[in-house]
Amino acid sequence: RILANRNEVLKTFDTQRGKMYKRYERTLNTPGTVEKPLSFEEYYDWLEKARTARDNYLEDKISKEETLNIIVSN
């Protein structure tokens, strides 16, 4: 957790993961009323891409900017 607070990529990943999950929950709980609905499949697809990008960044395989673009794209 301390490392996540010091690293912009990890902090952004954690924040976006929470936001995306809440979008999925709102879609599930109040269908038809959500401005930007998100199905479980869409959430899971995003999560897999974001995790891969995060892991590749931590292994110095992709840049910080590229990683953040993947994580924030929704």
pLDDT tens digit at each of 74 positions of the chain: 555 567 899 999 999 999 999 999 999 998 788 888 999 999 999 999 999 999 999 999 999 999 999 999 86
**Alpha-carbon separation of residue 28 from 16, 42, 44, 64, 72 (angstroms):** 18, 13, 14, 33, 22
Rounded to the nearest 10 degrees, what angle do helices 8-29 and 64-72 cross at? 10
pTM equals: 0.84
Q: How far apart are CA 33 and CA 31, in angstroms?
A: 6
